[in-house]
Structure 1
Amino acid sequence: MAEADVITKNRKFKELGFYDNQENNVYFLLPMRFARLNQEKEVLVNEVGDHLVVREGTFQKIVQRELNKEDDPDLFGDLVANHFISESRIPPLIDVLATRYRTKKAFLNNFTMLHIFVMSLRCEHTCHYCQVSRVTQDKDKFDMSRDHIDKGIDMMLQSPSPHVTMEFQGGEALLAFDNIKYAVERVHLLAGLRNKSVTFVICTNLALVNEEILLYCKEHEILISSSLDGPAFIHNSNRTRPGRNSYELAIKGIELSKRILGPSRVSALMTTTNLSLDYPIEIVEEYYKQGFRNMFLRPISPYGFAVRNERKNKYETDRFLEFYKKALGRILEYNLAGEFFTEDYATIILRKMLTPFPVGYVDLNSPTGCITNVIAFNYDGSIFASDESRMLAEMKDFTFQLGHLDTHSYEEVFYSKRALEIVSTGINESLPGCSDCAFQPYCGADPIQNHATQGDMYGYRPTSSFCQKNMEIIRYLIELMDKDKAIAKIFESWVKSRS
């Protein structure tokens, strides 16, 4: 205690002799993991996500106590400064480390922020990768009733978070725009009474959007999230509709939305199909052409009806990773030429790497983001742990159904045995294959994908596509930063823009 007190209270530098008199190879190990980065280097990662790229074999030297401060003072100093080793049994800054760890998990403080309302299953598109069943008629049967809208809003406003997001999905959500207006206006009446601020998002293919709808969105500060899979030949092939003009309608809708709402209020999301894999550069350039300066390179989701069309939708993870790297390379070329252009998935991972702050992205949280970050209210009032789990229910798999708006209270939904089971299987600090992975602080856990692809919520890491994808993308990002300081600066700018 006396030594610790001296170190804590006296912040002055010691005389050089103080350090020279220490045993050069006496140090204590702090929690860390390592992974091979390439043939020459490996990366060390500690509990709070600090990483250090070192020569291959360094980890072995560290744990075998073969590292000598006198022989390599720079490396020794980096290891101490970045909390991989300590010269005292209890590190002087252990309280700082604890605070940083709590900060990384701060997303749990506010619990569920994203509430998805499936306003209708009706849709005028027939996308071959659609993850849910869709219908074209019977409004009363396949639209969310106002009674269920009311009950969903009441449950949403019970969230402990002071800020929540209400996201309207479908089908095509704009087919039920009257109900969206009803929901928005009800929330405006109630949110102030609960001291909540609410962000509204409409997910739409934009085929039905018009000036009247967008003026309403502007008045009520509603964000628009749409889909753009690439150039016309890709988008029209992926997202089919009568007339084969989904691309033309999407571009017209994006332009109109940007003009009325402003560019920052409109986003687009792409889905990678088998066709997409051959055109990474063209897809990136389409986003640039349409004025977007960010994009999300997203693989197809292995849920619901999307898995039925294997010819168009099924591919090996290695092929997606090849596509991802080529597309990311084109995005970096824009940045190196002076254009600010981000890739969203990389930015989320980099934020976990380069900042002390948590992220709200469901797939990369531990405990898992389903339930703790997101909940989904289906059109019929049933409640699911996430949007993906309601897609499984469309295939008659109700593993992740938590209840129903007609019969279950907030407590019965969020504190049930089923909810506890789902969340407990999604803690990567305790999952075999995750707990000792160097990239665990940057990754998450997805019991829903594990169940859908492997038949088990815990999953099996050696054959997990989720694991394979994230491990390689994380490794690749670290390698890029280590090889090229200009790219490291670009990545830092991406993170700062999202802070």
Structure 2
Amino acid sequence: MTRKFLHVENFGANIPYYLLPFRFHRINETKEVIVNEVDDFLVVPVGTAAQIIERKINRREDATLYGDLLANFFISEQPIPELIDVLATRYRTKKSFLDHFTSLHIFVISLRCEHTCHYCQVSRVTADKDKFDMGREHINAGIEMMMRSPNPHVTMEFQGGEALLAFDNIVYAVERTKQEAVLRNKKVNYVICTNLAPLTEEILAYCKENAILISTSLDGPEFIHNKNRHKPHSNSYQLAVDGVMKCRQELGEENVSALLTTTNLSLQHPEEIVDEYVNRGFRNIFLRPISPYGFATKNAGKNKYQTTAFLEFYKKALNTIISYNLNGYYIREDYASIILKKMLTPFPVGYVDLQSPAGIINSVIVFNYDGKIYASDEARMLAEMNDFTFLLGDLSVNTYEEIFYGEKSMELAEVFTNESLPGCSDCAFQSYCGADPVFNYTTQGDTWGHRPTSSFCQRNMEIMRHLIELMDSDKKIEKVFRSWITGKTDAIKN
């Protein structure tokens, strides 16, 4: 009763080609997409993936398909491809966002705010409570920890509340960081997230002098923005658009950006929202759903909606954006652009929600106003709901090593790589997507998450499927999409 090895013929000696790792997904009734390990994809007739796996693709009879599969690393004529080093280089390039570790350092400079947005993701306090400003000792400790990052190019982002209400602390932080950056040989970008209501000429002058970027919010036309982003006794919309205009004049159009948050009211007006961004001269718009944190969870009537409703809104808005491009006005949708860069280029993206390993800790860290350190901005928002699952430590107590290589970080490392998550590991869109343990925990109760019932998974899979289907159905749309990642708008007209 001894076990003998089978003959060598049973192990592929006579097979026509060898399979390299790839995944597949049906995109409609007649087409499916196959995606390899380095994000190359091919749209093929339904059933092709099965034929490839069963080795029924014939080099002579299916010459074009065979050549595409061979050239794009879906199959190989040797057990180890001749160009395996090229494949390895491309894979390393896709993961190169890990090379220098944490880049984005968020300083919650104050919780004070003079707006009363119903979807606010933090527990804001009124504008007169300066005890909720970040203390100088915590600013100093945060800068010191930021300078410990091995990344030679870091971003210092000031958030709130309303960050401009503590502008004196922003000035202090920037001036100290400038000195430290010279000593540590680091390049620092500065960003202020603001509703622009407290903007003054002095603030603008300082931002211009120090090349500080401005990120603001614009939720659409006046009737939507003022409903979503209420400011007592004021017109929040007018303050925002006037502020954008002033910032563009002083800082340059490319140094001012706006973000949209989609509420139930927003879902009813996709075309009007896109029109507003175009009418205000924006060249980009970020269609993002509401996040399940903070006050947003307490006002379900205004903020809670099904993922299917958001996807319907997204597709209508995207169609409007594409139409503007085809008619000569360049404007890109940022979320699609991030995904398309992963699909159509060999380069990584810096968007933390679509990274694997996840962007938390690896790409972003948050220093709260009280000195507490969190794995991401969403982790900080969760803490404002009295859940400290993703609290990493304290600026007053913990060292850099304890924060970035401590027990909590090691726990998160087990769940922030989608290549090893159930339901992600065999998904066709895995390499385009990311891992988000904070979102999983918030919406599903554990950091691993459950893909079949995950709104993160449902949203991303459908958007990715839709983008591929659009490119396959119309080459003009593919040219529009390529212009979003290259900036070469002339290609659309040809």
- Normalising to structure 2: TM-score of the pair? 0.95
CA distance in 2, matches of 1:68, 1:218: 62
Q: Tell me which of 127, 131, 136 is aligned to 2:117.
A: 127
Cα deviations across residues 311-343 of structure 1 (Å, max 9, x unaligned)?
Answer: 000000000000000101011001101221100
Match of 2:256 among 251, 256, 266: 266
Q: Specify the alignment match of 2:427 in structure 1.
A: 437
Q: CA deviation at 1:423?
A: 2.6
Question: Displacement of 1:138 after TM fit?
Answer: 5.1
* Paired position in structure 2 for 1:68: 58
- What is the match of residue 376 of structure 2? 386
SS in structure 1 of the partner of residue 260 of structure 2: strand
How big is the shift at 1:424?
Answer: 2.1
Change (3 A) 1:77 1:412: same
CA distance in 2 between partners of 1:276 and 1:305 (Å): 17
Does structure 2 retain, via aligned residues, the 8 Å contact 1:230–1:282? yes
- Deviations along 1:73-105, one digit per CA (max 9) or x if unpaired, are 111111101110111111111110011001100
Report the CA distance shift for 1:32/1:124 in structure 2 as closer, same or farther (over 3 A).
same
Deviation of the 1:244 alpha carbon: 4.4
**Aligned letter for 1:434?**
C
Which residue, 316, 320, 339 being the options, matches 1:326?
Answer: 316
Amino acid of the structure 1 residue aligned with 2:140: D
CA distance in 2, matches of 1:424, 1:283: 40
Q: Which residue of 2 is the match for residue 165 of structure 1?
A: 155
SS of alignment partner, residue 172 of structure 2? helix
Tell me the secondary structure at the aligned position of residue 429 of structure 1: helix
**Alignment-derived partner of residue 257 in structure 1:** 247
Counterpart AA for 2:26: R
Runs of 4+ in 1 over 3 A off after TM superposition: 137-140
Q: Which residue of 1 aligns with 2:270?
A: 280
- 5 Å-filtered alignment, 1:419-434, equals 419-434=409-424
Q: Cα offset for 1:276?
A: 0.0
Q: Please name the residue that 1:19 is paired with.
A: none
How many residues get paired? 476
Q: One-letter code of the match for 1:107? A: F
Matches of 2:423 and 2:487 in 1, distance apart?
33
Verify the 8 A CA contact 1:112 1:375 in the aligned structure 2. Answer: yes
- How far has the Cα of 1:497 moved from its partner? 2.6
Give the Cα–Cα distance (whole angstroms) in 1 for the partners of residues 289 and 449 of structure 2.
19
Contact 1:335/1:490 (<8 A) preserved: yes
**CA–CA separation in structure 1 for the residues paired with 2:414 and 2:363:** 14
Give deviations 1:425-457, integer Å, cap 9, x for gaps. 010000000000000010001000000000000
Alpha-carbon distance in structure 1 between the residues aligned to 2:467 and 2:269: 21
Cα shift readout 1:396-427 (whole Å, capped 9, x = no counterpart) = 10000000000001000000110111132010
Query: Residue 216 in 1 paired to residue 206 in 2?
Result: yes
One-letter code aligned to 1:37: I
1:371 to 351, 354, 361: 361
- How do 1:75-474 residues align onto structure 2 when only pairs under 5 Å count? 75-137=65-127, 139-474=129-464
Is the contact between residue 45 and residue 52 of structure 1 (CA under 8 Å) also seen in structure 2? yes
Instruction: Please say if residues 371 and 423 of structure 1, whose CA atoms lie closer than 8 Å, have aligned partners that are also in contact.
Output: no
SS in 1 for 2:34: strand
CA distance in 1, matches of 2:280, 2:329: 14
Alpha-carbon distance, 1:139 to partner: 3.8
Counterpart of 1:491?
Answer: 481
Distance 2:412 2:117 in 1: 30
Task: Determine helix, strand or coil for the equivalent of 2:178.
Answer: helix
Q: 1:235 corresponds to which letter in structure 2?
A: H
Residue type at the aligned position of 2:328 = G
**Normalized against structure 1, the TM-score is what?**
0.94
1:52 aligns with 2:70: no
Superposition deviation, residue 141 in structure 1: 1.8
1:445-485 CA distances to partner (integer Å, 9 max, x unpaired)? 10000000000000000000000000000000000000000
Q: CA deviation at 1:127?
A: 0.2
Q: Tell me if structure 1 keeps the 8 A contact 2:307–2:458.
A: yes
- The letter for the 2-side match of 1:291 is G
Question: Which secondary structure state, in structure 2, belongs to the residue aligned with residue 215 of structure 1?
Answer: helix
Supply the distance in 2 between the matched residues of 1:209 and 1:420 (Cα, whole angstroms): 42
Partner of 1:201, secondary structure, is strand
SS of 1:275's equivalent in the other structure is helix
Percent of aligned pairs with the same amino acid? 67
Instruction: Tell me: CA distance 1:367–1:392, structure 2 relative to 1, closer, same or farther (3 Å).
Output: same
Contact 2:112 2:130 in 1 (8 A): no
**Would the aligned equivalents of 1:130 and 1:306 in 2 still touch at CA under 8 Å?**
yes
SS state of the match for residue 88, structure 1?
A: coil
- State how far apart, in whole Å, the 2-side matches of 1:84 and 1:486 are: 27
Decide whether the 8 Å contact of 1:116 with 1:166 is kept in 2.
Answer: yes
Name stretches of at least 5 consecutive residues in structure 1 with no aligned partner. Answer: 1-22
- Deviation of 1:137 after TM superposition, in Å, equals 4.5
The secondary structure found in structure 2 opposite 1:346 is helix
Looking at structure 2, the residues matched to 196 and 288 of structure 1 have their Cα atoms a distance apart, in angstroms, of: 37
Secondary structure at the residue paired with 2:420? Answer: coil
Distance 1:75 1:109 in 2: 36
Q: One-letter code of the match for 2:191?
A: V
Separation of aligned partners in 2, 1:359 and 1:136: 37
**By how many angstroms is 1:140 displaced?**
4.0
The residue identity in structure 2 corresponding to 1:419 is S
Q: Is the contact between residue 119 and residue 294 of structure 2 (CA under 8 Å) also seen in structure 1?
A: no
2:26 matched residue in structure 1: 36
Give the letter aligned to residue 182 of structure 1: Y
What is the DSSP-based 3-state SS (H/G/I as helix, E as strand, rest coil) of the residue aligned with 1:371?
A: coil
